[in-house]
Amino acid sequence: MKITEGYMPFLGHQTYYRIAGECRDGKAPLLLLHGGPGSTHNYFEVLDALADTGRAIISYDQIGCGNSYLDGHPELWTLETWTRELIALREHLGLDRVHLLGQSWGGMLAIGYLCNCQPDGVASVILSSTLSSASLWAHEQHRRISFLSEEDQQAIADAERTGNFDTPECVRATEHFMLRHCAGEITEESPECMRRPKRSGSEAYLYGWGPNEFTPSGSLKDFEYTDRLHEIRCPALIISGTNDLSSPLVSKTMYDNIPGARWELFDGCRHMCYVEENEKYIRLLTGWMDETE
């Protein structure tokens, strides 16, 4: 499989991108928007097999992480910055017609981009384990915290009262929470792209979102797009897992408000359906993109 890598100048810095495969038979490429903010493109490499269907699969490290690492610029970590980067990347790569897949924070970016910019040439959007409301997200995470042990619940409550989320007790409780709803531990059996060391954008995450998944306090804390979802004009596929950070209520809220949307709920999956049910996820995306074209 052909892999093409490169960099795009952006705001005086560099944005890394990676293209797997090439487009054939007039098929539109798939552009992947990773989570975090600050998570890097790495985990998306488990979707390289999609390139075998005759599509270029394009991922990139958003400014602030991975091969686009940057810190010391807290003023940059906003929806506006990352939207401008997405617009610039489409122009740089000549992506006149494209499918968008946003996972977690990447789905928020896709929603903001579609609603605020009304871009041309988006064949479809796949909203994978994401959200349209930061307040609903925080509510659902706190509901699920109540299912942790009394000790873990107390540790998180203490941290929220003091503002110190770095105590050993809170760190341990947060790890337990993320194991339930985000992803399993990385082992020797995990895909190489998951095991590979990466430079996460901790500053981008803290100033963009907050100290953890249940405390949105950064620039995205007021991300409330549920009442604007009807503005999304392209076909929309929502994907989530039953045990996902994007709870069934969060996902159903998007499904109910995007005209004509389709929702696929992956039984037993957490926040990374594309890893935990990789073959099923790839089949779903392949069929979806073929159908919407």
- Assigned token pair, 54: 């005759």
Q: Are strands 262-266 and 236-241 parallel, antiparallel or unpaired?
A: parallel
Q: Is 244 a known active-site residue?
A: yes
Strand runs labelled E in the chain: 3-10, 13-20, 30-33, 57-61, 98-103, 122-128, 236-241, 262-266
Task: Report whether 120 contacts 100 (CB < 8 A).
Answer: no
What 8-state DSSP symbol labels residue 263?
A: E
CB atoms under 10 Å from CB of 214, counted, come to: 21
Question: Which of the following is catalytic: 39, 68, 104, 246?
Answer: 104
Q: Give the C-alpha separation, 183 to 220, whole Å.
A: 23
Element (H, E) at 100: strand 98-103
> Per this entry, what is the length of the chain?
293
- Both ends of the chain: CA-CA distance in Å? 24
Question: Which of the following is catalytic: 244, 246, 247, 251?
Answer: 244
Q: Is 271 a known active-site residue?
A: yes
Q: Give the C-alpha separation, 245 to 213, whole Å.
A: 8
- Assigned token pair, 242: 């039953």
What 8-state DSSP symbol labels residue 27?
A: P
Q: Are strands 262-266 and 3-10 parallel, antiparallel or unpaired?
A: unpaired
Cis peptide before 37 (omega within 30 of 0): yes
Question: Which of the following is catalytic: 34, 41, 181, 271?
Answer: 271
Which residues are part of the catalytic machinery?
A: 104, 244, 271
